[in-house]
Amino acid sequence: MKSLLPQISTRSPWLYRINAGSCNGCDVELATTALIPRYDVERLGCKYCGSPKHADIVLVTGPLTAKVKDKVLRVYDEIPDPKVVVAVGICPVSGGVFRDSYAVHGPVDSYIPVDVNVPGCPPRPQAIIDGIVEAIKIWKSRM
């Protein structure tokens, strides 16, 4: 039973999206990756969920603005372990074009341990799929 559970559960990770102050560009690409049949991330067994308590793979967009920082960290803490974090877009990875702004507290990895980076402004849906594939591999190793 112990060996069976990781095998089954790693086939269907739940994705959860945190918007840490993004300009919406990356969120649109995430929605595209998930919702329209052309890219259809659900072929990988993934499904978006609305509650952090159900999440397995967390997709973070945005540079972590001062305004949302505390809320992001609070939501992140609600996600059960083991979790895998994917930073989508250059904003969460380095701050992107907003780097060094007084309103930005990022990069995200100074507060949250990030596992996979998907740079791009915004990244293409296929690049996001690449990142999710990497994240599933990491998640399997953590189960």
Give residue number: closest CB to ligand SF4.
25
Per-residue binding string, another protein, 20-59, x by CB under 8 A, is -----------------xxxx--xx---------------
In the chain, DSSP finds a helix count (H) and a strand count (E) of 5, 5
Alpha-carbon separation of residue 62 from 24, 36, 107, 115, 121 (angstroms): 8, 22, 9, 16, 10
Contact 13, 57 (CB under 8 A): yes
Nearer to ligand SF4, 13 or 21 (CB): 21
- Residue 37 binding: pick among ligand SF4, another protein, none (C-beta 5-8 Å cut-off by kind): another protein
Q: What is the DSSP string of 76-140?
A: HHHSPSS-EEEEESHHHHH-GGGTT-TTB---GGGTS---EEE-SSSPPHHHHHHHHHHHHHHHH
Q: Which of 35, 66, 133, 143 binds another protein (CB under 8 A)?
A: 133
Contact stretch for another protein (CB under 8 A) within 10-18, 46-54, 71-79, 130-138: 130-138
Least distance in Å: CB of 26 to ligand SF4?
3
Q: Is 115 in the site for another protein (CB under 8 A)?
A: yes
Contact 52, 80 (CB under 8 A): no
Nearer to another protein, 54 or 138 (CB): 138
List residues binding another protein (CB under 8 A). Answer: 37-40, 43-44, 90, 93-97, 99, 109, 113-121, 123-124, 126-131, 133-134
